Structure 1
């Protein structure tokens, strides 16, 4: 079986909005928000992984 990623409906609607209706200003705001949110989540996950490695859970 394949593990196919199926994004939430909100993501699908956002992508549709970007393709069909978004103005340049809206695209800039969406990009800023997504970049900030993704970077924050990546940092949080990296900290969790580092903590797990230090505690020996990752072995």
Structure 2
């Protein structure tokens, strides 16, 4: 599984956890979800290896 697919799975898992978390824990789960979103956005906008070689 490539890094993008793993990251997408982590975003999905973080969202699922956030949606089912008790209200007292939602801040922590929201932070984790945000971190995973930032990570996948960076992956999506990172230059590819082939583009770097040019």
Larger Rg: 1
Report the TM range for the smaller structure's normalisation. 0.3 to 0.5
In proportion to residue count, which structure has more helix? 2
Q: TM-score, length-normalised on structure 2?
A: 0.46
Q: TM-score, length-normalised on structure 1?
A: 0.42
